[in-house]
Structure 1
Amino acid sequence: MTEAIIHGIILAFGLIIPLGVQNVFVFNQGALQPTFIRALPVVITAGICDTILIVAAVSGVSLLVLSFAWLENIIFGVGVIFLLYMGLFLWRSSTTTAKVAGEIFSTRKQILFAASVSLLNPHAILDTIGVIGTNSLTYFGNERWAFTLTTIVVSWLWFLGLAISGRYFGKLDSSGKRMGLLNKVSALVVWGVAVYMAIKLLGNLMIT
C-alpha cells in the first residue's frame, strides 16, 4: 500500500504542477479576492471537479474515452473554443480590471468559472482520465483505494496552496500592475495550450 501512496503523490504532483488554465484561475482568484475566504469557492469547486474526474478515471471511464476517437475529438474541439475564450478574457484584464475583479466575481460566478476551467479543459480531462486512470489499473482492492485517495488529497492541497500563494502575491501587488502582467502571461499560456490542442485535433482528423 505504501508503494501505491508514493506513486499517487508523485503522479498527482506531476500532473497538476505545470502551469495550466485551472491553476492560473485558482491563483488569480486567490490574488484578486479581498479576503481568502472569498476565494474558497474556487478552491472547493476545483477540488470537487478534480475528485469527480479522478474517481471516474479510476472507475474505468478512461478505457471508454480512449476507446472512442470521436469522443476525444469532441473534447478537443470544445476545449479549444473554451481556451481561446479564456485567453481573451485574461488578456483583456487590464490593471484596472485586476483591481476590481474580486468584486466582479461573485461566489456563483467563481463556481461556474472554476467548474468550466476544470471540466471543459481537455488537457486536464485527458491527463486525469488517461494517466491516472491507466496507472490505477496496476492496483487492486485497498491499494487502488489508497492510490485514488492520495491523488485526490494532493489535488485539494495543491489548490489550497495556490489560493494562499495568490493571496500573498495580491498583498504585495498594491498597484495591480503585476496582476495585469500576470493576466497577460496567463493568457499566452492558455492560448499556447489551445494551439497544442488544435494541432492534436487536426492530427486526429487527418488520421481518420
Structure 2
Amino acid sequence: MQPIFHGIILAFGLILPLGVQNVFVFTQGVSQPSLLRALPAAITAAICDTILIVLAILGLSVIVLQFEWIRLILLVGGIIFLLYMGKVIWSSGAASLEGKEALPIRKQIVFALSVSLLNPHALLDTIGVIGTSALKYSGQQQVLFMLTCIVVSWLWFFGLTIAGALLKKMQIGAAVFVLFNKLSAVFIWGTAVYLLISLF
C-alpha cells in the first residue's frame, strides 16, 4: 500500500499547480463544441505524462540531469512553443464557444505535445522528482508506484476537460470566456518570459 499512497500524493503534488499544461487542457473543455472534441488534448497530455513517468522510473532522469545542453534545448524549445500557443489562445475569442474557431484535432495534439514535452519545468519535475522517488522501490512495489502515478495523471486530465465542459454548460456570458482566454494567454506568455529569464 505504501507505493500506492506515495504515488497518489506525489503525482497530485506535481500535477495540481496551475501550469501551462493544465490551462490548455481545461481551455479545450471550455472552447470545444462538445466534450468528445476536447478529448484529444486530454488524451495526448495523459499519454505524454505516462511516457515521461515510465522513462523517469527507467532511469532517464540520471541522463537528463547530468547534461546542461539538454536543459538548454528544452528551455529554448519550450519558450518558442509557449509564445506561439499564447498567441493562438489570445486570438481565439468568443467564436470558439460555438466551435467556429475551436482548435482542430491536429492542433490540439500538437499543442498538447508541446506543453507536455517542451515544458522544461514539467519535464524536469516528472523526470527528476518521480524518477528519484522511485529509486526507493524495486520489483512489484516500483511497478505499483509507477502505475499509481500514471492513473492519477489520466484521471486529472479527464477531470479538467469535464470541468471545462461543465463550466461552458452553465450559460456564462461569452465575455467571461473571452476574458478567460486572454488570461490564459497572458499566463502562458508569463511562463515563457520566466523560462527566458531562467536562461540567464
Partner of 2:55: 56
- Distance verdict in 2 for CA 1:101–1:131, change over 3 Å: farther
Deviation at 1:72, TM superposition (A): 0.6
4+ runs deviating over 6 angstroms: none
For 2:35, give the aligned amino acid: F
SS of residue in 1 equivalent to 2:65? helix
Is residue 86–residue 188 contact of structure 2 (8 Å, CA) maintained in 1? yes
The CA RMSD over aligned residues, in Å, is 1.6
Is residue 22–residue 117 contact of structure 1 (8 Å, CA) maintained in 2? yes
Q: Provide the rounded CA distance (Å) in 1 between the counterparts of 2:171 and 2:189.
A: 25
Question: Which 10-residue stretch deviates more, 50-59 or 38-47?
Answer: 38-47
Question: Which 10-residue stretch deviates more, 149-158 or 80-89?
Answer: 80-89
Q: Provide the rounded CA distance (Å) in 2 between the counterparts of 1:50 and 1:126.
A: 12
TM-score, normalised relative to structure 2: 0.93
Is residue 33–residue 102 contact of structure 1 (8 Å, CA) maintained in 2? no
Contiguous gaps of at least 5 residues in structure 2: none
Deviations 1:132-153 (A, max 9, x none): 1111111111111111100000
* Residue correspondence of structure 1 range 1-208 to structure 2 within 5 A: 2-96=1-95, 98-101=96-99, 104-202=102-200
Deviation at 1:183, TM superposition (A): 1.2
Q: Provide the rounded CA distance (Å) in 2 between the counterparts of 1:106 and 1:196.
A: 29
- Distance verdict in 2 for CA 1:105–1:19, change over 3 Å: same
Number of residues of Structure 1 aligned to a counterpart in Structure 2: 200
Is residue 22–residue 118 contact of structure 1 (8 Å, CA) maintained in 2? yes
Deviation at 1:54, TM superposition (A): 0.7
Report % sequence identity: 57
- Distance verdict in 2 for CA 1:142–1:116, change over 3 Å: same
Is residue 92–residue 101 contact of structure 2 (8 Å, CA) maintained in 1? no
SS of residue in 1 equivalent to 2:173? coil
For 1:134, give the aligned amino acid: T
Question: Which 10-residue stretch deviates more, 149-158 or 41-50?
Answer: 41-50
- Distance verdict in 2 for CA 1:36–1:157, change over 3 Å: same
Deviations 1:50-104 (A, max 9, x none): 10111111111111000001111111111112112222222223233x3245654
Deviation at 1:199, TM superposition (A): 2.1
